[in-house]
């Protein structure tokens, strides 16, 4: 379809699954990751596609987010889909033992990076008056998870960010939504809860398929709203709360 797609966290987990789906649809994917440690595995899985462009950047820094969006836009003159799927979670710990450093890392990696990418891309979407901005939160952004207070707080923030963007742009034709997956079988899940727990979770490919169905109009999610995907099914679609 030759859409221009920007995905953060695109070298692993849900981001990599999404990259594969878009590439299968003949889209052009720009994937951003903080490090290159998963690049070889990602390229191998995707069979070295010409339309997959990996970029290394720390999107917790405003200058980097601006630079990434500007660089892509100069090449393509449009952005059809932006998906903020990069994520971080610290090891589970009781709230009273949670460090300020871990809180800052969760907020910076999950919320600040999403904020900065949306801020950098919003003028493009407003001028185009079309396209998709999709922010990946979590079930932890719908109801807090014990022993993951910092992570939960950051993911609640992603939901609020999406709602604010659309409440400020109610007449716009571009759409901004939040995706809230339940547990997924990813390296991050295995690191947090163990390999056996991770294997019991839904596949990131399934979640990626549902996101594709949203973008293709097969599943209707109102702008500013959210979709919850748990246990291998869509469990709810929620409109944004009234202003």
Domains and CATH numbers, the chain: 4-238 (3.40.50.720)
- Mean pLDDT over 14-24 rounds to 97
Q: How far apart are CA 75 and CA 230, in angstroms?
A: 37
Q: How far apart are CA 183 and CA 186, in angstroms?
A: 9
Q: What is the pLDDT of residues 70-91, one digit of tens each?
A: 999 999 999 999 999 999 999 9
CB 32 within 8 A of CB 59: yes
Say how many CA atoms lie within 13 Å of 121 toward its Cβ: 34
Q: What is the pLDDT of residues 97-119, one digit of tens each?
A: 999 999 999 999 999 999 999 99
pLDDT of residue 234: 98
Three-class DSSP labels, the chain: CCCEEEEECCCCHHHHHHHHHHHHCCCEEEEEECCCCCHHHHHHHCCCCCCEEEEECCCCCHHHHHHHHHHHHHHHCCCCEEEECCCCCCCCCCHHHCCHHHHHHHHHHHHHHHHHHHHHHHHHHHHHCCCEEEEECCHHHCCCCCCCHHHHHHHHHHHHHHHHHHHHCCCCCCEEEEEEECCECCHHHHHHHCHHHHHCCECHHHHHHHHHHHHCCCCCCCCCCEEEEECCEEEEEECCCCC
- Mean pLDDT over 22-46 rounds to 94
Q: What is the pLDDT of residues 179-194, one digit of tens each?
A: 999 999 999 999 889 9
pLDDT of residue 26: 94
- Assess whether pLDDT exceeds 80 at residue 243: no
Cα–Cα–Cα angle for 197, 58, 36, nearest 5°? Answer: 65
Q: What is the pLDDT of residues 126-138, one digit of tens each?
A: 999 999 999 999 9
Share of the chain above pLDDT 70, in %: 100
Mean predicted lDDT score pLDDT of the chain: 96
pLDDT of residue 48: 72
pLDDT of residue 49: 80
Q: How far apart are CA 28 and CA 51, in angstroms?
A: 5
- Assess whether pLDDT exceeds 80 at residue 47: yes
Share of the chain above pLDDT 90, in %: 95
Instruction: Give phi and psi for 15, each to the nearest 5.
Output: -60, -40
């Amino acid at each position: 379809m030759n859409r221009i797609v920007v995905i953060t966290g695109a070298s692993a987990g849900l981001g990599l699954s999404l990259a594969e789906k878009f590439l299968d649809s003949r889209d052009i994917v720009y994937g951003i990751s903080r490090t290159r440690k998963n690049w070889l595995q990602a390229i191998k899985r995707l069979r070295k596609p010409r339309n997959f462009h990996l970029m290394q950047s720390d999107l917790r820094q405003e200058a980097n987010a601006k630079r990434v969006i500007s660089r892509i836009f100069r090449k393509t003159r449009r952005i059809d889909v932006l998906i903020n799927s990069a994520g971080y979670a610290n090891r589970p710990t009781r709230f009273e033992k949670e460090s300020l450093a871990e809180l800052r890392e969760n907020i910076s990696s999950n919320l600040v990076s999403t904020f900065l990418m949306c801020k950098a891309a919003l003028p493009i979407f407003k001028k185009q008056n079309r396209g998709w901005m999709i922010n990946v939160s979590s079930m932890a952004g719908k109801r807090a998870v014990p022993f993951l207070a910092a992570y939960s707080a950051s993911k609640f923030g992603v939901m609020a960010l999406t709602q604010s963007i659309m409440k400020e742009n109610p007449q716009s034709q571009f759409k901004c939504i939040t995706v809230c997956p339940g547990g997924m079988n990813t390296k991050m899940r295995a690191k947090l809860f163990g390999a056996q727990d991770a294997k019991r979770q839904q596949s990131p490919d399934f979640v990626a398929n549902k996101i594709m169905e949203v973008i293709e109009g097969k599943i209707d999610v109102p702008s500013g709203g959210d979709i919850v995907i748990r246990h291998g099914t869509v469990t709810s679609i929620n409109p944004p709360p009234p202003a």
